[in-house]
Amino acid sequence: MIDARLLEKGFSAGQALAHFARANPDSGGIASFVGKVRPDGDVKALHLTHYPPLTLPGMEELARKAMERFALEGILAWHRIGFLRPGAPIVLVAAAARHRRDSLAAVDFTMDHLKSAAWFWKREKRDDGWHWIAPRGQDHADLARWD
């Protein structure tokens, strides 16, 4: 089961995970990660844009790769687009597997790819205007672990 979505409005991680758990009743473990807009410094808003012909198909392909690489029964990858305020959830990734290590590794793998090799562009609004956010060196190093 693959559930990949681009969302223009907020989501409830609790409700999404409850539905995901019901959809994967034979899983021994479900791991999840929720990324939120950090309220660092004077960040007023985060704006996420994307390239529609590639974004959702790319997320679905990434989910398929995670399903194949790890012994998963299901994976969920939801990502917000548009304007978000500090504290708002940006991304939810969950993986269901018979064993915890596969679910934990699949979430890590998927997040590393979404963080630095995905089809999103981020910019923050601060007191002095808008600033583009690029992946950090650590994000690229995290992604390289999976090669």
> Residue 116 maps to which CATH number?
3.90.1170.40
Residues in the chain predicted with pLDDT less than 50, given as ranges, are none
The mean predicted confidence, pLDDT, of the chain is 94
pLDDT at residue 39 in the model: 83
**pTM more than 0.95:** no
Q: Which residues of 47-84 are buried (b: 16+ CB within 10 A; e: fewer)?
A: bbebeeeebbebbeebbebbbeebebbbbbbbbbbeeb
Which run of H or E residues covers position 83? Answer: strand 82-84
pLDDT at residue 139 in the model: 84
Print the domain residue range for 58. Answer: 2-144
pLDDT at residue 10 in the model: 93
pLDDT at residue 94 in the model: 98
Compute the distance between CA of residue 99 and CA of residue 10 in angstroms, rounded to an integer. Answer: 30
pLDDT at residue 143 in the model: 83
Could you tell me how far CA 132 lies from the centroid of its own chain? 19
pLDDT at residue 13 in the model: 95
- Quote the number of domains for the chain: 1
Given the structure tokens 């990660």, which residue do they identify?
33
